[in-house]
Structure 1
Amino acid sequence: MSGAGGATTARLLIRTSGGVPVDTPRVPAREAAKHELSKPMYHENDPNLLQRGIDRLWGWIGDLLSTASGVAPGGSLGLVVLVLVVIGLVAALWWRLGTPHRTVRSSDALFDDSPRSAAEHRTAAEAHAAALRWNAAVQERMRAIVRALEERALLDPRPGRTADEAAAEAGHPLPAHAKRLRAAARAFDDVTYGDRAADQQAYLDLRALDLDLETAKPLLASVVQGAVE
């Protein structure tokens, strides 16, 4: 309604318990209703804060998937196929590469500060293998391989050498075993830095390599030099 002096205040008619209408201004009535509805008795069955957050999250995810399915080839089915392909690629890369390796530091060297002979490393490796501790068995067998090559003067003893460096250097005088040496170093890195779990076969491969290297005849230095040139 409107009058000569401007718009009049809208009012709300409320009936009392006796049936007598009461003319109440709209704003106070709204505030009164709001105050009444804020009482705990009206919210006993409301979801808690956590549940409301979860509902909002699922709603957001649903909206996101709905939007993505609208632009993906084939609609919802195409989106599902795309997601499965991405998951498959990630799983394949993870299986192939393992957990990303750390940057090699001095503490990542093949040997610790208490040098032992190849025989001692072999004994430790066999003890770990007998207890089914394959990770430790692989580590000790790789140390035995490198130490044995140092004892035969096929590798110069060098503090801080890594398994990869040892395999690369040993591959020059022992080219017939270069591939297996690289595989052994990779197995050592996987269990030491890559959080991979070794198994019995991984240990047996290193053990067989160690035994083969004991009787392997290295190339003469002159022959190796000529092959490199």
Structure 2
Amino acid sequence: MSPTGGVLNVVPALWRSGDEPPVTIPRDPAREAARRELAKRMYHENDPGLPQRALNAFWDWVERLFTAASTATPGGTLGLVVIVLAVLAVLGALWWRLGTPQRTPTASATLFDDRPRSAAEHRAAAEAHAAQGHWSQAVQERMRAIVRSLEERALLDVRPGRTADEAASEAGRTLPGQADRLRAAARDFDDVTYGGRAAGEGTYGRLADLDADLERTRPALAATALDARQGAAG
């Protein structure tokens, strides 16, 4: 037997000396002899390890898949690359718009937890989060401060289990001039809390400005009554 091109060729015959005819080995025993020979350790000392073989098999599969896809795609390889990039761009846009998918729907979750806190406490918590750059938590606490402040001013009734959307809708009827900003704030709260989106400094700034403006805003009924009294006095 002699190695040729990395593969052993088994000679299926043994030659006797002199004029005697060679001893011929049948095909199956010859194949078995070659198998035993090739199984010897000396032929496998430089073989790659199992992880490397698995990795090679994976990349071979990827190459075959890519080749098959490129032959079936208009434009060949270039067309396939363009399609893949377009799909990735669409997925990235959806991820940015919708945020991280949630395991269970939580759109009806309540605004507050079980421990009641004042508007001032929620504002202090929001500012503490903002100082550390934790904008998502800051947005949550600022929205809670807005709703709690409206409850403390008796512009909203104190109702356990209220959601941010419900609070914005109810407060918008009492403060119609701020209704759009209240709904936008509720959406920001829901996106952060239930949609998995990360808030930024700008989002928190909008809620903080709304909170300050609401403190200076009179409810519609009170403003109408005050104007009526001023008109009667004039």
Same fold by TM-score, threshold 0.5 exceeded? Answer: yes
1:16 positional shift: 7.4
* Alignment deviations for residues 71-108 of structure 1 (CA, whole Å, 9 cap, x no partner): 222221111111111111111111111112441288x4
**Residues 100, 25 of structure 1: alpha-carbon distance in 2 compared, 3 angstrom cutoff:** closer
Which residue is equivalent to 1:118? 119
Q: Which runs of 5+ in 1 are unaligned?
A: 1-10, 224-229
CA contact (8 A) 2:98 2:197 kept: no
Query: Could you tell me the TM-score, scaled by structure 1's length?
Result: 0.80
Which residue is equivalent to 1:195? 196
Which residue is equivalent to 2:208? 207
Which residue is equivalent to 1:8? none
> Aligned equivalents of 1:155 and 1:26: distance in 2?
95
Tell me which moved more, 169-178 or 31-40: 169-178
**Residues 142, 16 of structure 1: alpha-carbon distance in 2 compared, 3 angstrom cutoff:** farther
1:53 positional shift: 2.2
Which residue is equivalent to 1:31? 32
> Aligned equivalents of 2:177 and 2:127: distance in 1?
26
CA contact (8 A) 2:16 2:23 kept: yes
> Aligned equivalents of 1:151 and 1:183: distance in 2?
22
> Aligned equivalents of 1:17 and 1:165: distance in 2?
105
Which residue is equivalent to 1:12? 12
**Residues 75, 105 of structure 1: alpha-carbon distance in 2 compared, 3 angstrom cutoff:** closer
For the residue of structure 2 that corresponds to 1:185, the secondary structure is helix
**Sequence identity of aligned pairs in percent?**
63
Letter in 2 for 1:48: G
Which residue is equivalent to 2:106? 104
> Aligned equivalents of 1:132 and 1:43: distance in 2?
58
Which residue is equivalent to 1:175? 176
Which residue is equivalent to 2:7? none
CA contact (8 A) 2:101 2:196 kept: no
Tell me which moved more, 29-38 or 186-195: 186-195
Give the root-mean-square deviation of aligned CA atoms.
2.8
Letter in 2 for 1:142: M
**Residues 194, 17 of structure 1: alpha-carbon distance in 2 compared, 3 angstrom cutoff:** farther
For the residue of structure 1 that corresponds to 2:12, the secondary structure is strand
Q: For this pair of structures, how many residues does the alignment match?
A: 211
**Residues 218, 32 of structure 1: alpha-carbon distance in 2 compared, 3 angstrom cutoff:** same
Query: Could you tell me the TM-score, scaled by structure 2's length?
Result: 0.78
> Aligned equivalents of 2:158 and 2:130: distance in 1?
27
